[in-house]
């Protein structure tokens, strides 16, 4: 059986996946669920360093996510430089302070209270790495003309899901931080006009004393309907 072939003049490779027993499939699905159910958003980080190669592999994992027409419309900017992290924290706290004091509704603020969050974001300087996820709205062809990417929001959202799972699987913690608006990140990092900031994700070890809200996830019956 050939391992490669042309379909409509495009190269294809043969795909195969090991078939596991029904019991092994159940065990693997249960084990992965239990691992991911222990994942939590953390706001208390340690400054303990870890190898850059870990971040590189995490981002390569995120880049295996499916995307519209395989355009892979994402850029992951990794920040370790303390001065840049400080700039990001100052700008993020300025936007967050304005949001907490004047932009957010009372209902929104009430919903945030159980999470113990406010406009102060020290983790932006403490965490060893910040990953800034950008969505690429379009590309430039060789002729300099714009070429649209497709399903950008959905594609980048999928990549972030892979990213968070990889971070957790590596034994690290993260937080999906969305200071709004995030235009300041584009300016600080001097990113091109076709990129828009999507998420700011600190990554590291949890602090020695780290507390997270005692939350309960919705049951399967609340989030899933079988037909």
Output the tens digit of pLDDT for each of the chain's 227 residues: 678 888 888 999 988 888 999 999 999 999 999 999 999 999 999 999 999 999 999 999 999 999 999 999 999 999 999 999 999 999 999 999 998 988 889 899 888 888 888 899 999 999 999 999 999 999 988 888 899 999 999 999 999 999 999 999 999 999 999 888 899 999 999 999 999 999 999 999 999 999 998 989 999 999 999 99
Q: Which of 46, 44, 45, 125 is nearest to 82 (CA)?
A: 125
pLDDT at 49: 96
pLDDT at 51: 96
Pair 193, 215: CB distance under 8 Å: no
DSSP alpha helices (H): ranges in the chain? 22-37, 52-62, 82-98, 106-112, 123-126, 152-169, 183-189, 220-223
What is d(CA 21, CA 23) in angstroms, rounded to the nearest whole number? 5
Under 8 Å CB-to-CB from 2, ≥6 apart: which residues? 14
DSSP 206: B
- Write the secondary structure of 161-203 as one string of H (helix), E (strand) and C (coil): HHHHHHHHHCCCEECCECCCCCHHHHHHHCCCCCEEEEEEEEE
Instruction: Report in angstroms the alpha-carbon separations of 33 from 36, 40, 165.
Output: 5, 13, 11
pLDDT at 143: 87
CA angle 100, 104, 108 (to 5 degrees): 105
For the question of whether the overall pTM of this predicted structure is more than 0.75, the answer is: yes
What is d(CA 130, CA 171) in angstroms, rounded to the nearest whole number? 16
Pair 147, 194: CB distance under 8 Å: no
Under 8 Å CB-to-CB from 49, ≥6 apart: which residues? 128
């Amino acid at each position: 059986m050939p391992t490669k072939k042309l379909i409509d003049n495009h190269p294809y490779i043969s795909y195969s996946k090991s078939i596991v027993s029904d019991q092994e499939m159940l065990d693997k699905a249960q084990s992965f669920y239990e691992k991911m159910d222990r994942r939590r958003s953390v706001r208390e980080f340690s400054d303990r360093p870890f190898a850059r190669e870990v971040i590189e592999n995490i981002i390569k994992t995120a880049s295996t996510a499916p995307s519209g027409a395989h355009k892979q419309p994402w850029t992951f900017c990794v920040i370790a430089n303390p001065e840049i992290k400080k700039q990001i924290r100052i700008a993020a706290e300025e936007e967050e302070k304005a949001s907490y004091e004047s932009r957010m509704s009372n209902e929104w603020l009430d919903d945030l209270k159980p999470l113990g969050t406010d406009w102060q974001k020290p983790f932006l300087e403490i965490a060893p790495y910040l990953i800034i996820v950008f969505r690429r709205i379009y590309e430039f062809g060789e002729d300099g003309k714009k070429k649209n990417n497709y399903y950008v929001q959905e594609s980048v959202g999928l990549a972030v899901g892979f990213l968070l799972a990889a971070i957790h699987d590596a034994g690290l913690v993260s937080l999906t931080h969305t200071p709004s608006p995030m235009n300041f990140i584009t300016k600080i990092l001097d990113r091109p006009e076709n990129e828009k900031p999507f998420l700011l994700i600190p990554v590291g070890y949890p602090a020695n004393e780290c507390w997270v809200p005692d939350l309960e996830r919705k049951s399967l019956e609340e989030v899933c309907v079988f037909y």
